[in-house]
A and B are shown apart, each in its own frame.
Chain A
Amino acid sequence: MAKTPSDVPVEPGMPQLDFTTFPNQMFWLFVTIVAIYFVLSKIALPRISAVLSDRQDTIEHDIARAEELKQLAEDAETSYNKALADARIEANNIVNNTKLEMKAELARKIADADLQIADRAKESEQKLNNIKAKAKSSILDVANEIAIDIVSKVSPGHIDEKLIIESVNQKVTE
């Protein structure tokens, strides 16, 4: 539009209705449309379509890969948890077993100790009985001597010692 109105003869009306220019416009429009159509259908559109589907494929592939990795991570977590649970159970078992063993050991030891205590008690009882028996005989001896002395002092002469001992024994055992 470099030309000023004074340079160009001004035609009245709309240039759109100047039919002398129609063949020119139609011709160049035809050329243009054909050119654009070939550029688009032969080069641009297949290329863009390929790029878009490539991208779609890549995204889908990446998502699938991520899914896979996620699955792996989940598997690892489950096996870890399983191992943890197993270890816990084992630890519990060990603790329980140990407890049982210790209980059994304790019971055995207690039983041993009871036996020993019973032995000792028997022994002591025996000793006590011996001492008791000894004491009894010595008491008897002392009593006999005293009785003989008393009898000999009361009635000097013949003393029937056997009789005295007999009667003393009788009295003491009563």
Chain B
Amino acid sequence: MSRIVRSPHPFEHFTIDLLNATDEDLREVAETLGLGLNLDELRYIRDHYLIQERKTTDVELQTFDQTLSEHCSHKTFGGVIHTPEGTVDGLLNTYLRGLIDELEPDWCYSVFEDNAGIVDLTDEVGIAIKVETHNHPSAIEPFGGAATGLGGVIRDVLGVWANPIACTDVLCFGPLDYDYSKLPAGVKHPSYIFSGVVDGIGSYGNSIGIPTVNGATVFHEDYTGNVVVYAGCVGVLRKDQYIRNVKPGDNVLLVGGRTGRDGIHGVTFASAELTEESEEVSRPAVQIANPIEEEKIKRAIKEVSERRLGSGITDIGGGGLSCGVCETANSYGLGVEAHIDRVPLKATDMAPWEIWISESQERMLLAVPPDNLEEVLQIFEDEQVETTVLGQYNSTGEATLYHHGIKIAQLELEALFNPPKIERSTSWKPPTLEEPEIPEPDDLGAVLLKLLAAYNITSKEKVVRRYDQEVKGQTVVKPLQGWKAGPNNGAVLKPLDDSWKGVAISSGINPRYGQIDPYWMAAAAIDEAVRNNVAVGGRRISLLDNFTWGNPEYEDRLGGLVYACRACYDVGKAYGTPFVSGKDSLYNESPLGPVTPTLLITALGIVPDIRKAVTMDLKEAGNFVYLIGETKPELGGSEYYHLHRQLGASVPKLDADRSMAAYRRLTEAMDAGYVRACHDLSEGGLGVSAAEMAFTGDLGMDLELSCVPTSEEMRDDFILFSESCGRLLVEVKPENKDAFETVMTGSTVAKVGEVKEEATLTVRKGGAILVELPLEELIGAWKTPLEVPR
């Protein structure tokens, strides 16, 4: 006899009898209802209903399914993990949130507890920030997946009452020249995904009128089957606008777009591996974007927020209403009564469970006290946004749902949000890798030109220009510098009309290092993000983590993840940079295997006076060029090795204490006005960085390799292309030479060159000229390879 029985109600609704259900029965129920719950979770639910002494319903089981999914509950980051070095009770609490308790920053306003992290800009004003992934949907439907990814993260920022002012995007694709004949069934070609994702982000961000100010475009074989789309959003709010005070009797107000069948089981899909059938099975999981709807919502919420009329807010994203409604009730220690049939629909024949879990876009949930309801409804009406009062919060501790007056679910929130922690074990062994033997090249200039044209270094102008970078007129340091459009280290925004205070946004990502060592990959990503931030004038930096990893149920993948988290803790502590928000995307596996372990670090810094912000272009002939930091023979995972199709083993190992000390001194030098230009050294090392500074500023540079501080005797090509962490090039006026050197005392720093009028980059060692190239040729190489397919 089937355990699933249709209810007598005049709409689709089922009761499910889980009493004495065997594992086999449970699996069958899960499969019939399309649930992603594992056996342990199903047993937990069965036992819960045994105590409740009643049958469950489809709506209830679907709610458990959504809430317990990896996407919503982050059970891997919350679970107990047995590692060779001991047991970790929660990666998030131990390493990421744990850092906050350790550092005790008094400028973190709200971290890891809401839709977005909030830090102080001034005493009264806070900056909210969140970065999300939208990988799985983008693999299936690149345009829609990427667009809704951006839409979702903007709602996260709205979901802390903040007004969004900027977006970020970091995109990771397979090689654009990937051999079509090697593509497995179900995997779309990187160039198709690339154009769809770039257009999707552009279409959403441009239409809603939020500038995209920072990002990266990265290429790696492993992203062929697992495209990675990171979208971030920064918002601003007065801190007293951050109201979270929901009381029994407050209204549950749904605002925004209508609910449809787009985005059913999105979180279940996001918490599973991609397969050949994903296209067909999971297409409905990808939502459809309507940026103008969100633009209207944004205006209305800004108004409600400024007038402080709501008592709580959250976005409707993964898990749909089921998560939004239940999570808010649970987080305020309340219960809730909601009427599903009031939800405005795109398709009128939807079953209640579908309405309840649909992830249709552009919807937000507000809690509104009865006295303010009329005013709030008027605000949304003025912006032409549809609103629905779904029900009220109460003090029952339960979510009770009705459809046309008939009770269809009664969920005990305590049980819903406190499932048993998962327990897993790890193993991770360093891969056996060797240092390649690469013959020393005769012509370093030719190598430099090749590196500038490498996909991971080449100009991303053709992507960046698709996005509005300066709408709102607050982008002070833009992603591309000046008329030559060189790559700035980070963006600087001026969010307040009446203050010169700014925020700096930057990022760090090193996919190739992850194949050598996830710990040092994570350390390098944090360093890169922080260094980029410091380079434009940022300080008091907070970080966001976004892990993209393979299936954590495999011990090696999880082992690597644990090491990466440890690096976050270690480096975060040494740098004094707390994590304020984050998001993990696991299960990035495709027929081509797991994704390369990827950690995106986003850094948010404060710039006390944007008039002192620093860009990377050379400013004036005759100025001196200094190199901060030590160069080591660390080319494992470098672009230089990659030119030779080698990975190598000598991954850059960050010396966190020395690096941070140097950054602090550099900041001091910037404040004193000694720094005319500053650029970080990353992919392609010193050679690429020097070339970028020169051609962006349209000024030549003389570089003397024998002056570069190295840890040991090194080959010229290694000095020029090593990717050691912690290094920056700085331009200083001759008259500030002594003052600059005094400020930098204690750190590794050396004058390595000069700015010249003549438009060439010249690299010498002793008397010998190693590289002599016109700027035009350098910028030509840098701008050539990446064509946006049209």
A and B: interacting chains:
no
